[in-house]
């Protein structure tokens, strides 16, 4: 019997203009799984946290990840997973990706690392597909690799780790409004008008250039999204007014976190991030919408092994 204990961090998908192609990892917050492999052929998932997860393992994102890993390496095993820490589902900071990334990374460690980092991300994407009905990697890739990751292509998956300049913090608010990723994807039009596409790829280029050269103001003004935000912001009351207040407080940008309804403010220091966090909280309090706020550093650390027993 072999056992690993692994951590995978929370993440923010899209990073403004990078719909489905740019995501970042957050520090400290994340999921912890213990995974045991023994002789046999089966899977159990035990939840030791207070966070509700589906009782039917077919609905748990860990299941397709474990199965696709075993299929890829052509082995059978009895796998027992214990969820020791879990980000609240729907919090908008990559809850399903943290579980999927921890499962994929943990399985790879357990079996002696037969898969490359990109293949681990591909396994983690099976969990994202179950959760959202789409194979996007902009939470799963940073949750495995850490830092800010560009998904240059999906066929085949081509992942590029971008530098995290300065001292970046995100203030993230999770308002108690329910919007599933499936819904938030379904409302998007199937085609993007050329004018918006041109503005969007200009911004994606600007964001990547800003990150690579450490040009903080270029990063901030490149983070406007013309593809998903115009359709999704209707789920977030007072979105434009809130952004005005956040930018006035000195944040570099404010965008929807992944598919929402969470919103994040990107800041280049902790003081501004704390201030932004308070504005985010006050905004939803004034609307009598409950919320949680996190102020977290953008992290270069991805999934990691914290313990192994062989």
- Closest CB to ligand HSE: residue number: 258
Q: Is 259 in the site for ligand HSE (CB under 6 A)?
A: yes
Q: Is the peptide bond before 156 cis (omega within 30 degrees of 0)?
A: yes
Shortest spacing between CB 231 and ligand HSE, in angstroms: 11
CA end-to-end distance (rounded Å), the chain:
7
Provide CB contacts within 8 A for 131, sequence distance 6+: 61, 96, 100, 181
Least distance to ligand HSE from the beta carbon of 48, Å? 25
Closer CB to ligand HSE, 219 or 228, in the complex: 228
Among the listed residues 109, 126, 181, 229, the single catalytic one is 181
- Could you give phi then psi for residue 275, rounded to 5 degrees? -65, -45
33, 99 in Cβ contact below 8 A? Answer: yes
Residue 94 CB, shortest distance to ligand HSE, in Å, is 7
262 binds ligand HSE (CB under 6 A): no
Part of the chain binding ligand HSE (CB under 6 A), chosen from 13-21, 116-124, 284-292, 296-304: 13-21
Choice from 86, 136, 174, 275 touching ligand HSE (CB under 6 A): 136
Q: Is 139 in the site for ligand HSE (CB under 6 A)?
A: yes
309 is catalytic: no
For residue 173, the SS3 value is strand
Which residue's CB is nearer to ligand HSE, number 228 or number 266? 228
The answer to whether residue 126 is catalytic is: no
Q: List Cβ neighbours of 248 (8 Å cut-off, separation of 6 or more).
A: none
Distance CA 39, CA 110 (A): 13
Least CB distance to ligand HSE at residue 287 (A): 23
Closest to ligand HSE by CB, 181 or 291:
181
- 117 interacts with ligand HSE by CB under 6 A: no
Locus of tokens 């959760």: 131
Binding ligand HSE by CB under 6 A: which of 2, 3, 67, 185?
Answer: 185
Gap between the Cα atoms of 140 and 135, Å rounded: 10
Q: Does 138 bind ligand HSE (CB under 6 A)?
A: yes
Taking CB under 6 A as the rule, does residue 16 contact ligand HSE? Answer: no
Q: Which DSSP string corresponds to 210-279?
A: HHHHT-HHHHHHT---SSSHHHHGGGSTTHHHHHHHHHHTT-SEEEE-TTSS-EEEEESSHHHHHHHHHH
Of positions 14, 91, 95, 299, contacts ligand HSE by CB under 6 A: 14
- Given 34, 109, 126, 128, the catalytic residue: 128
Place of tokens 């035990």: 46
Q: Which residues are catalytic?
A: 128, 181
Residues at the interface with ligand HSE (CB under 6 A): 13-14, 19-20, 132, 136, 138-139, 181, 184-185, 228, 258-259
């Amino acid at each position: 019997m072999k056992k690993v204990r692994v951590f995978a961090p929370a993440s923010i998908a899209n990073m403004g203009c990078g719909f489905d192609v740019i995501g970042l990892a957050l520090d400290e917050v994340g999921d912890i799984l213990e995974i045991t492999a023994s002789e046999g052929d089966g899977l159990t998932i035990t939840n030791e946290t207070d966070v509700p997860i589906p009782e039917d393992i077919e609905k748990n994102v860990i299941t397709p990840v474990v199965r696709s890993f075993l299929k890829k390496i052509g082995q059978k095993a009895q796998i027992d997973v214990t969820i020791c820490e879990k980000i609240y589902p729907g919090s908008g900071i990559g809850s399903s990706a943290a579980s999927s990334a921890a499962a994929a990374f943990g399985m790879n460690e357990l079996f002696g690392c037969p898969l490359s980092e990109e293949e681990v991300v591909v396994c983690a994407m099976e969990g994202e597909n179950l959760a959202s009905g789409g194979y996007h990697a902009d939470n799963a890739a940073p949750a495995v690799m850490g830092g800010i990751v560009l998904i240059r292509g999906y066929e085949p998956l081509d992942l590029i780790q971008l530098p995290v300049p300065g001292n970046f913090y995100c203030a993230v608010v999770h308002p108690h409004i329910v919007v599933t990723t499936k819904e938030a994807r379904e409302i998007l039009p199937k085609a993007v008008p050329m004018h918006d596409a041109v503005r969007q790829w200009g911004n994606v280029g600007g964001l990547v250039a800003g990150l690579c050269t450490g040009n903080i103001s270029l990063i901030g003004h490149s983070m406007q999204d013309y593809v998903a935000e115009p359709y999704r912001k209707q789920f977030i009351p007072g979105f434009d007014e809130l952004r005005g207040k956040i930018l006035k407080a000195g944040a570099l940008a404010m965008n929807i976190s992944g598919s929402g309804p969470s919103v994040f403010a990107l800041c280049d220091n902790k003081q501004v991030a704390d201030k932004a966090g308070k504005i985010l909280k006050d905004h939803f309090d004034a609307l009598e919408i409950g919320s949680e706020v996190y102020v977290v550093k953008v992290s270069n650390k991805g999934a990691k092994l914290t313990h192994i027993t062989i």
